Amino acid sequence: MRNRGHRSWAVLATVAAVLLGGAGCDAVGGDASGAHSTGTKGRPSPKPTPVWDRSPASLAAVGDSITRGFDACAVLSDCPEVSWATGSDADVDSLAVRLLGPVGAAERSWNYAATGARMADLPEQMERAVARKPELVTVMVGANDACRASASAMTSVADFRADLEDAMATVRQALPKTQVYMSSVPNLKRLWSQGRTSALGKQVWKLGICPSMLSDADVVDATATKRRDKVQARVEAYNAVLKDVCAKDRRCRFDGGAVFDYRFGTAQLSHWDWFHPSKNGQAQLAAIAYRTITARRAVS
């Protein structure tokens, strides 16, 4: 009887030790939902880090002549200081200045856009941009894919998509957390309808600015109308691709067609070619980008 009693007490002691040991595990980080989770009771759950940062600390711009400020300061010349993306001109109040301040914009923004660039040039531009490790990359390209010598020479929608996907893959492979702002392609037909009111503008157009849309600017017969409608339809198809590719990337925001929908008037067009944005037009593009990037939710 005595030995049996000792064995009973030993078994009970062992069971108690196991139970107490289990409780101790809960207290230092076990299942917090259990009855013994008093060690974590009352602690607030950490807030998840948002996928989209509305105040990135650096940016790089890629794209075409619009982002280079072409014809905004002088005829047939780049003027990057008035670029909507990275410019320093106070009247434009560029995206970089709005996000980073004047000093920050000068130190932590870079412009790799090139006048005449098409979507096929974007992957190489993106490689240069990601080398800077920016927290945000802005993309505005596609107008030159539609602005060709003829409507038949426009970039195919399939090639446009393939090059855009290549550029986005370059970003993701190098910088998984870098954000991308993607602008829609402007409404080229509206730019034609506004710019053709200027005799000077039409003379500059003859030098080779967007001939698929702007050639024979005053001709409005069936053939010319069909040509312009074909160019316009291609621009709309490009914008659908931009939206679709961006939607597949959780760190990309498309402008929702805001640049395409913006009703550029003569005040927003270069007074040298009446097609590219003026300083005022650049300021409008900066405002659209800033609204898109700092919005609490992406535009649907």
Dump pLDDT digits (tens) for 9-33.
343 344 344 333 433 333 333 333 3
Indicate the pLDDT class of residue 43, thresholds 50, 70 and 90. low
Indicate the pLDDT class of residue 46, thresholds 50, 70 and 90. low
Question: What is the per-residue pLDDT across 279-289, written as a single tens digit (0 to 9) for each?
Answer: 999 999 999 99
Rounded Cα gap, residues 243 and 254, in angstroms: 6
Question: What is the per-residue pLDDT across 177-204, written as a single tens digit (0 to 9) for each?
Answer: 999 999 999 999 999 999 999 998 899 9
- DSSP state at residue 268: G
Q: Are 273 and 209 in contact (CB under 8 A)?
A: yes
Give the SS3 label for residue 111. strand
Mark residue 264 as left, alpha or beta (left: phi above 0; alpha: psi -120 to 50; beta: remaining).
beta
Give the SS3 label for residue 60. strand
According to the model, what pLDDT value does residue 299 have? 78
According to the model, what pLDDT value does residue 48 have? 62
Residue 167, pLDDT above cutoff 90: yes
Q: Are strands 136-140 and 109-111 parallel, antiparallel or unpaired?
A: unpaired
224 φ, ψ (degrees, to nearest 5): -65, -40
Give the SS3 label for residue 283. helix
Rounded Cα gap, residues 147 and 234, in angstroms: 10
Residue 2, pLDDT above cutoff 50: no
Q: Residue 242 is which amino acid?
A: L
Residue 7, pLDDT above cutoff 80: no
What would the mean pLDDT of 54-82 be, rounded to a whole number?
97
Question: What is the per-residue pLDDT across 69-88, written as a single tens digit (0 to 9) for each?
Answer: 999 999 889 999 999 999 99
- DSSP state at residue 33: T
What would the mean pLDDT of 218-244 be, rounded to a whole number?
98
CA angle 123, 125, 129 (to 5 degrees): 110
According to the model, what pLDDT value does residue 62 have? 98
Residue 159, pLDDT above cutoff 90: yes
Which residues have CB under 8 Å from 27's CB, separation 6+?
36, 37, 38, 39
Q: What value does the mean pLDDT of the chain take?
A: 88
Rounded Cα gap, residues 10 and 17, in angstroms: 11
Residue 171, pLDDT above cutoff 80: yes
How many CB atoms sit inside 10 A of residue 187's CB?
A: 21
According to the model, what pLDDT value does residue 201 have? 87
Rounded Cα gap, residues 270 and 280, in angstroms: 9
Indicate the pLDDT class of residue 50, thresholds 50, 70 and 90. confident
Residue 237: Cβ-neighbour burial (10 angstroms; 0-12, 13-18, 19+): middle
Question: What is the per-residue pLDDT across 86-121, written as a single tens digit (0 to 9) for each?
Answer: 999 999 999 999 999 999 999 999 999 999 999 999
Rounded Cα gap, residues 244 and 135, in angstroms: 22
Q: What domains are there in the chain, each with its CATH number?
A: 59-294 (3.40.50.1110)
Q: Residue 225 is which amino acid?
A: T
